[in-house]
Amino acid sequence: MENIPIFLIEMLNKQYGNLQADKIIEGYRAKRKVTLRVNNLKTDLNTVKTEFDKLGIKYETVKFYENALIIDNASKKDLQALEMYEKGEIYLQSLSSMLPPIVLDLQPNMDILDMCAAPRRKNYRISCYFKQ
């Protein structure tokens, strides 16, 4: 997010003050690592790791969620070109988006309405968490 609209900068300054607004804007501009979640209905973490090792894709594990990986040397586009992405075996997803299903302690037959759901895949992803 290189070009941050002036109105947003002004709003952040007004709401949080200049120092805090500068930190927020710095966060907007920071390059984020690509993160993903393994869809354990279609594959498993070890299979994904093995494939990544073959392809030379470097990754880190995530302490709070065993099916999440932080990618060190591949872009979103690189991962979207993979067959495992096309098959729905991995989902590009921010770590923060992985937290709600974990902390909600989802149980079978619970109804969850995600008011921030993106079209298509995210609605499906929520259901995957508690079908494990």
Average pLDDT rounded to a whole number, residues 14-41: 93
- Tens of pLDDT along 47-98? 999 999 999 999 999 999 999 999 999 999 999 999 999 999 999 999 988 8
pLDDT at residue 130 above 70? no
User: Strand order of the sheet with strand 59-61?
Assistant: 59-61, 68-71, 34-38, 90-92
The span from the first CA to the last CA of the chain, in angstroms, equals 36
Whether 39 and 3 have beta carbons less than 8 Å apart is answered as: no
Give me the pLDDT at residue 119, please: 61
Average pLDDT rounded to a whole number, residues 105-129: 65
pLDDT-derived band at 41 (thresholds 50, 70, 90) equals very high
Pairing verdict, β 59-61 and 34-38: unpaired
SS3 assignment, position 35: strand
Domain locations along the chain: 1-31, 34-129
Distance in angstroms (rounded) separating the CA atoms of residues 93 and 91: 6
CATH fold of 34-129: Alpha-Beta Plaits (3.30.70)
Q: Between 127 and 36, whose confidence is greater?
A: 36
Average pLDDT of the residues of the chain: 87
Q: Between 72 and 112, whose confidence is greater?
A: 72
Distance in angstroms (rounded) separating the CA atoms of residues 78 and 50: 17
